[in-house]
A and B are shown apart, each in its own frame.
Chain A
């Protein structure tokens, strides 16, 4: 159901990116990268009341084919999920659920003592789980 999932570090360098359509990867990367504009803008506004900060940022922007959702953790790690625009059946709640699960997966991956914070995520387990999440079987 999700088209592309990206985890982006706090300095906006990508830590993980996967897509179900490898041909479009570059294009998607551009899109995900551009979505950071919106994430930054939203986080900036959120600075005023950090307590009530909602991690889920909602729809960042949509293009012809893709709808892009964002999520930012407290450590400013961003999750970006790209969903096919034609998939109208997907509701916002489900997107939230994807992010929640992704957050859990990410936390697990980062908890690995051999993982160096800030490096890209290369864990196979994480990758498998994300792939599963993307296909909707999570």
Chain B
């Protein structure tokens, strides 16, 4: 073969390195020698990067050095036959060393020194003889065991040795083979290298000398010399000089005129030189220059074809140039050169591949010409291709000018070319190029290369590989929408599929090729369709060119083993058939019939026969569950408007027949239907894809089209272009669940009237009321339901103010925030009711969550009965078949948010459904309550003094809209307080109060302890334990039978007002324990306390700050008071939601029992009354006056002064009558009193009223006796005055004399 043109010789490709020859080393037998040799040349050493680039050669003992040619005296008549000899580079690279090193085992103190010296001298001499006429350096290395030292003997012997061998002392080296061999070798190496350098320098000089003798005619010699100089410079590692010389050689070469015969030589040499230049340029980091040089080079030689017959040789050369340059480029990139998208090795690989293609074309032409001339036969006689070559590069062993011989040689070359596998070469180059193009982000270019490669495979007959490549490229080009290119690729793919008998690919490509987008005639499409049906029927297709026998048999076997149906993804393969599916309705209940429409249109101009249409559905929540529906009936419409108007040519849809022909241009509307029952309730059905089966039973294509209706963001309105635009598509259908219970909620009607007849307008719910709610649960279906239950819960925001209960039996202890009412079983067409009560402490809107649930048996029989119409689980490969039962949980979970109905699957056969509704009740206020404290003088009270009586005035206003009966109202005071009635008149409630009616109670209270020593329940408990006489009886008090409170008429001026705020009741406590100490007060009480104290917060804001609402949270609705006596007790577990609870103690609970007019249920409203600070007074003054005074009837005015302190008090009491004429008074006018600690003193005056009407009483004033008690001063006296003012009445009403009195 044309080795010159196609490949570069290997000696050119390596980097030239100085050659150093070693002799005298017997590596085979002597370990030391072997170690030394390995130290120099071994692979271990080569790793070190800093080692000099040297090539070592081990010379055998009788190595024959090439004989030097005799020097030419004159070059005048010398005309070489070629430019460069084939062996020159090899000789200098591998054969002729620059330095010959002779290794000898000689110790200085060797006993046989003299003999060895002689022997050594002989060897040296022999070498010298062999290297006659060469400048090769010779040096001697003595291998010694003893480390070198300053030794006189050594110096002397060395001198004698050098003289004996005839070498200078510089050429003698000692190599001690100790463990530091590596270091010694490195140093020796640099010494050798120096010698090699000087050798090559000398060699350059000699060549230069030759050159000087040349005349202008010696162009070829000049090139040779320049080349040699460059090569030697490269040996010396002098790259820039080398480049210069090569470049000179190149310029000279370019200038020579070439003809057909020397063209090959020139191109070969130019290729060599160019290679060297580019290589050095890359090495010297001037890649741009390299690329430019290469381009110029190719440009220059592109047109120099040489012999026309051997054009392939030229292309081979060009291809080689490119590929070699690409390799250089790659190498440079590996060494850190950055490449660009537009300038990278792939381009050159590609060009190289292109030239190989041209080479093949040229070779085929040449061979065709050869056949024509009938010379092919001759060529075969010449079997040895190498015989054509001379010792010069690029020169044939053909005498120039001998036309016959030349012709023969050309024929010979053609013959050789035939044997070359072009395709393999092209494919290899293309794959290299593809790799590069991929790196440099030229993906489209890479595709093009892949297409080229596929074409090459196709040409070389490897259809399967071509098909693979083509079909890989198809989607890419399809996506890019370059229809011309795509058509080309598609048709080639089709051809490959045909040739390789790949049924699936053939069918897929045929169908795709039916599209109008592919530029072909209708008759071509018809032909394609015919062939397609041939294949469907199990016959090989019959294209225009008949298939060969081989492919016929391939087809036969392929058709028998085809796996039908062949899936074809119509999302990708576009523009043949357009298919859309839509649900007829967006929502269905599960006993409806699910209907689907499928709209199909043929986009090409040939009719298609479709075997069947299917629509595949899936649950949105669980795409594993697939259902397949078959199209049954259809309409066809010639135009889109008719489709939209639903006006078909016939009224009844036609039944779908197998292999129906779809005419191009028509719109077909298919219908599928099934019963929705077989799907799970509460699921979203989604159309997964539409499938159309085409073909026969044996072989068919399954055209699948997924239904993701992504519309273009910018669509242009064209009236008939887009089916999608003009038809409403519902891709999702929701199967609404059936809830078998119907409920009706009646508010505000108790058992009495809630059930029967006409429910009147619901009464308004009031605060503190047990408000009944009746749920009427009805099952209108013919289904047997089990475990029907209602669960009602209070939302979190109202947790502490709204409660629920089902139990309003006396006691009413059980309040809950959520209740569950079990209704039990409901058979078909039956109903039941459930009642519960709401109790609210707050006036607000109450939204209760009402959750109905039941279980029922699942009927699984539906699926089988639907028959052919019914959906069957899809058998499509991508849907794993699973029975619904296994996945039901997933559905329930994923769809929980969609519907208010929740479906839970308890097991295979039972499911629970539940639905959450909201019941809204507005709660209105019942009473407006307000409580104030007064002194006995009816002055607003700021502070309570221990041991003094004061008044509580409780005002109640009815706010309820409906009529209310107040049964009772009473005050339960704290244990530390004592209450007594203001007057003994018993309070009577008239029944039925209306909105706006006002009520008032006045209660006298007294405390015996200050706020500091306020007794709490715990204190009492402990005390009781200590005393051991506490009988704690657990009982629940029964409702009182009588009233404990009486109204009192006086209305003191409003002072301190304590507004009640509705308090919040806390969590449900356990049953209450009321500790009842068996006190006399208790037993003697006429009224039993109300045990059912649902307490209410009525905290009074501190008066100074005006009205303030305090949210007090109590422990329990019913018994919050731990009773300790008649209407006394401890209020349990007060805690407030406020950060700083009011310091004032709670004085008690005001309780109103009431009920709606005509209703039975009693309710209680309770208001907490928070008290005032209790202070220790300096004195307690009690004043007693008769209840009624009559004129001229003497009466006693008794003042008791009590000393609550531990000190003795010294007082002066003075009585002064302001108006002399209203009373006659007797008693001490002024009195010094001394009261002992805790003692008391009674002052008694007799008063005789003289006048009727309001009369000022005599004023008693007290002051400290400053004589007896000098610490007391005026400030204390002022305090006393205030006390007196508060305690003593000022006026009294004197009645006229009684009748009998007057008569008397």
Contacts and interface: CB of A to CB of B under 8 A. Distances in A.
Interface of A: 11-14, 17, 25-26, 29-31, 33-34, 36-38, 41, 59-61, 64, 116-118
A33 B716 CA distance: 27
A13 B482 contact: yes
Nearest to B451: A30
Contact of B480 (A12, A25, A41): A12
A25 to B, nearest CB: 7
B445 A37 contact: yes
Nearest to B716: A116
A41 B341 contact: yes
A37 B442 contact: yes
A26 to B, nearest CB: 6
B485 A30 contact: yes
Contact of B481 (A13, A38, A59): A13
A36 B347 CA distance: 16
Contact of B442 (A11, A31, A38, A118): A38
A67 to B, nearest CB: 12
A30 B443 CA distance: 12
A117 B447 CA distance: 28
Given A13-B482, A14-B481, A64-B351, A37 B444 contact: yes
B865 interface: no
B1031 interface: no
A116 B480 contact: no
Contacts of B421: none
A28 to B, nearest CB: 10
A41 B482 contact: no
Contact of A26 (B342, B354, B488, B718): B488
B341 A34 contact: no
Contacts of B451: 30
Given A30-B451, A33-B444, 7 more contacts: A13-B480, A14-B481, A14-B483, A26-B488, A29-B482, A116-B716, A118-B716
A36 B354 CA distance: 21
Nearest to A116: B716
Contacts of B484: 14, 17, 25-26, 29
Interface of B: 341-342, 347, 351, 354, 441-445, 447-448, 451, 480-485, 488, 714, 716, 718
B342 A61 contact: yes
B441 A37 contact: yes
Nearest to A28: B484
B448 A117 contact: no
A64 to B, nearest CB: 7
Nearest to B452: A30
18 contacts: A11-B481, A12-B481, A13-B481, A13-B482, A14-B481, A25-B484, A26-B484, A29-B484, A30-B485, A34-B444, A34-B445, A34-B448, A36-B444, A38-B442, A64-B354, A116-B718, A117-B716, A118-B716
A33 B354 contact: no
Which 9 A/B pairs are nearest by Cβ-Cβ distance?
A: A13-B481, A34-B445, A37-B442, A34-B444, A37-B444, A116-B716, A30-B448, A34-B448, A61-B342
Nearest to A26: B488
Contacts of B448: 30-31, 33-34
A41 B342 CA distance: 10
Contacts of B716: 116-118
Nearest to B442: A37
A118 B441 CA distance: 26
Contacts of A25: 484
Given A13-B481, A14-B481, A64-B354, A37 B718 contact: no
Contacts of B444: 33-34, 36-37
A61 B484 CA distance: 22
A124 B141 CA distance: 90
Nearest to B443: A37
A32 B341 CA distance: 16
A53 B1285 CA distance: 100
Nearest to A61: B342
A117 B715 CA distance: 10
B342 A33 contact: no
Contacts of B347: 61
A136 to B, nearest CB: 25
A26 B485 contact: yes
A34 B346 CA distance: 14
Nearest to A36: B444
B485 A60 contact: no
A38 B718 contact: no
A58 to B, nearest CB: 10
A108 B481 CA distance: 24
Contacts of B714: 117
Of B354, B482, B485, B714, most buried by chain A (CB within 10 Å of CB) is: B482
Contacts of A36: 444
A33 B479 CA distance: 13
Contacts of A13: 480-482
Given A38-B342, A116-B718, A29 B442 contact: no
A41 B485 contact: no
Contacts of A116: 716, 718
A92 to B, nearest CB: 16
Contacts of A12: 480-481
A41 B483 CA distance: 23
B321 to A, nearest CB: 13
A31 B448 CA distance: 8
A36 B716 CA distance: 27
B481 A60 contact: no
B485 A33 contact: yes
Contacts of B480: 12-13, 33
B485 A38 contact: no
A12 B476 CA distance: 12
A37 B354 CA distance: 20
Of A26, A34, A117, most buried by chain B (CB within 10 Å of CB) is: A34
B542 to A, nearest CB: 27
B485 A29 contact: yes
Contacts of A41: 341, 441
A61 B594 CA distance: 60
B718 A34 contact: no
Contacts of B718: 116
A118 B721 CA distance: 15
A75 to B, nearest CB: 12
Contacts of B443: 37
Contacts of A33: 444, 448, 480, 482, 485
Contacts of A37: 341, 441-445
A38 B351 contact: no
B381 to A, nearest CB: 39
B342 A14 contact: no
Nearest to A34: B445
Contacts of B488: 26
Contacts of A14: 481-484
Contacts of A11: 481
A61 B342 CA distance: 6
A116 B722 CA distance: 14
Nearest to A30: B448
Contacts of A64: 351, 354
Nearest to B343: A61
Nearest to B354: A64
Contacts of A38: 341-342, 442
A26 B485 CA distance: 7
A5 B1289 CA distance: 120
A62 B481 CA distance: 24
Contacts of A26: 484-485, 488
B297 to A, nearest CB: 15
Nearest to B437: A37
A60 B482 contact: no
Nearest to B358: A64
Of B444, B483, B485, most buried by chain A (CB within 10 Å of CB) is: B444
Nearest to A40: B441
Nearest to A62: B342
A60 B351 contact: no
Contacts of A117: 714, 716
Contacts of B341: 37-38, 41
